[in-house]
Amino acid sequence: MSDYRRAAVPGGTYFFTLVSERRQPILTHPDIRQALREAIETVRLSQPFAIDAWVLLPDHLHAIWRLPPGDADFSNRWRLIKRHVTHACGKTYLRADLLSERRQAKGQGTLWQQRFWEHLIRDEDDYARHFDYLHGNPLKHGLVTRIRDWPWSSFHRWVKQGVYPVDWGGDSNLDDLGAGE
């Protein structure tokens, strides 16, 4: 088994990528969106965190979180969120062709890839690059021709707050980050 090392900085800001199992294009389905919303609300009650940015795409999501001072446990938060979504929607999206004995024994279902990718944000420039990358992701993947047309993104919140103009098109160097995809 691989020895995964994660950056664990209490109170840190992190960029995440989570992917559906075998990149199934299911994450934007209404029931999964609702389960994700409920999971996040539930987990935040006992383990608070701030979501600075978010984009949900059919087969993956990106998020930027800020953890509270003294807390670096993002892994457990994601574990609980993924588990909640699997319990809420897993039977609907169960695919026998993707359900290995190991997955079945662990009760994982076939919604999510087992792991996720995280990046500790190092400074303001790193934050800005990941913030723009995240919001430009629907355009990068050809899902829209204008970022404002993608409904499942915190982009709209940041437009209302004046951070982005409504016609922002993203950075032409979005591919330069390669952020976890």
CATH number at residue 33: 3.30.70.1290
Cα–Cα distance for residue pair 99/37, rounded to 1 Å: 25
Residue 62 domain flag: yes
Contact (Cβ atoms closer than 8 angstroms) between residue 54 and residue 153: yes
Residue with tokens 């994700």: 36
Residue 4 falls inside a structural domain: no
With respect to residue 160, please indicate whether it lies within any of the assigned structural domains.
no
Residue 142, domain member (yes or no): no
Q: Do the domain assignments include residue 170?
A: no
| pLDDT tens digits along 65-114 | 999 999 999 999 999 999 999 999 978 887 777 777 776 776 677 789 88
- Give how many domains the chain has, as a whole number: 1
Q: Which of 78, 58, 55 is nearest to 134 (CA)?
A: 55
The token pair at 75 is 């892994």
Q: Is 17 within 8 Å of 181 (Cβ atoms)?
A: yes
Instruction: Please name which of 20, 82, 78 lies closest in space to residue 49, comparing C-alpha atoms.
Output: 78
In a domain, 115, yes or no: yes
pTM for this structure?
A: 0.89
pLDDT tens-digit readout, 23-46: 999 999 999 999 999 999 999 999
Over the stretch 104-154, which tens digit does the pLDDT of each residue have? 776 677 789 888 999 999 999 999 999 999 999 999 999 999 999 999 999
Task: Classify residue 88: in a domain, yes or no.
Answer: yes
Domain residues for the domain of 101 are 13-122
97 within domain boundaries: yes
